[in-house]
A and B are shown apart, each in its own frame.
Chain A
Amino acid sequence: MTDATQQIGSFEDEAQFGDYVALLKPRVMSLVVFTAAVGVFVAPVYIHPFVALVAILFIALGGGASGALNMWYDHDIDAIMKRTAKRPVPAGKVTKGEALTIGLWLSFIAVVMLGLASNWVAAGILAFTIFFYVVIYTMWLKRWTPQNIVIGGAAGAFPPMIGWAVATGGVSVESVLMFAIIFMWTPPHFWALALFMNEDYSKAGVPMLTVTHGRKTTRTHIIAYTLLLAPLAVGAAFTSIGGWIYLAAALYLNAKFVWGAWQLWHRSEDEAEADTYKAEKKYFRFSLTYLFGSFGALLAQAIWVQGFGMGAW
């Protein structure tokens, strides 16, 4: 090896392209792509498919950029938690500075390109989403309050609202309802995860509700949020984006989600430990099905009404 290559680094710690992609949290991006796409397609305004595709791509890129900024700021606690220790920054593949630079540039590119492709209302909401996730959630709330996931969840709830703004150029009751569904879904989803990953958060000193108030309180909070979510989700069926397809799906998914939360609420810690948090893991997995199912039903409803020209009811 020459002096020059020694300065540049060795083969083992050389970041490959995949490491930079991992910096953008592709799994989170897939959720952003899906919910933003639903926001675009359920809107009652025609938008050219290519413009829609480009807009969704840059909404996803904005989400990815905020993921990179999150990894830049959270590199210390990511290294402690088992779930996040293999991320590119704690693994030593990508430096903190690189994560920051990539995050800032991609945020800028995503916002400007979304504005040029669609409109500046959508770009403005995307810029606010990135700011909210990085500054309000990551830098401020995450390490300070057990309500971190409640308020921070708003960042993940904005994509369908941005998608709606891409098509309509504004905000309406339907887009606020889509926001509300993800906003109310986020706490039970993450608290279910925290119930069986408590040790990780505890070691990293992240004040998750399970760490600060214990598992019993967390279980109560899960059922409370699930009960608050249900009328919002079912209520969306009676707006312009709803109809019988969505209503049927919403009734089924919410009944199952509430039933799962009810079961978690009645479980003691001994029972949970005895079966290694089987019900909690099942509830967590179902929460993902719930979100994809709900937004998938909205999309199916839009295809039924707009694609086939059928009535909503």
Chain B
Amino acid sequence: MAAPRVEHELHTRRYSRNLGVGLTLAFLVCIVFGLTYVKITRGGLNEGFDHVLRPELVPTQQESN
């Protein structure tokens, strides 16, 4: 029995498609990572109002001045 061919003709034929999809997905990952970084570092206070008074969200006397 012959050893299985590693490089099938289909791989050559679809090389550009596979490469394109791979690079696009990698680009998308970079975008989501970058966006997350920007949102977290520039988002300020990330805690939101949840119907309960939370002392850490109330500005202190010094901050409000």
Contacts and interface: CB of A to CB of B under 8 A. Distances in A.
A18 B34 CA distance: 27
20 contacts: A5-B10, A14-B13, A14-B14, A15-B17, A16-B16, A17-B16, A17-B19, A17-B20, A18-B16, A20-B20, A48-B38, A48-B42, A50-B35, A50-B38, A51-B35, A54-B34, A54-B35, A113-B31, A116-B35, A117-B35
A38 B61 CA distance: 42
Interface string B1-20: 00000000110011011011
A11 interface: yes
Contacts of A113: 31
A16 B35 contact: no
Contact of A57 (B16, B31, B38): B31
A4 B10 CA distance: 10
A198 B20 CA distance: 37
Given A48-B42, A51-B35, A8 B17 contact: no
B17 A16 contact: yes
A51 B42 CA distance: 11
Interface string A165-200: 000000000000000000000000000000000000
B13 to A, nearest CB: 5
A81 B21 CA distance: 31
B17 A17 contact: yes
Interface residue tally on B, bucketed by range: 10 to 19
A226 B10 CA distance: 54
Contact of A50 (B10, B17, B34): B34
B34 to A, nearest CB: 6
Contacts of A54: 31, 34-35
Interface in A10-54: 11, 14-18, 20-21, 48, 50-51, 54
Q: Which of A4, A5, A17 neighbours the largest number of chain B CB atoms within 10 Å of its CB?
A: A17
A16 B17 CA distance: 5
Contacts of B35: 50-51, 54, 116-117
A20 to B, nearest CB: 7
Contacts of A16: 16-17
Contacts of A48: 38, 42
Given A17-B16, A20-B20, 17 more contacts: A1-B9, A4-B10, A5-B10, A11-B13, A14-B13, A15-B17, A16-B17, A17-B17, A17-B20, A17-B21, A18-B16, A48-B38, A51-B35, A54-B31, A113-B31, A116-B35, A117-B35
B62 to A, nearest CB: 27
Given A51-B38, A54-B34, A116-B35, A8 B21 contact: no
Nearest to A11: B13
B34 A8 contact: no
Contacts of B13: 11, 14
A243 B19 CA distance: 47
Nearest to A2: B9
Interface string A218-253: 000000000000000000000000000000000000
Interface in B1-54: 9-10, 13-14, 16-17, 19-21, 31, 34-35, 38, 42
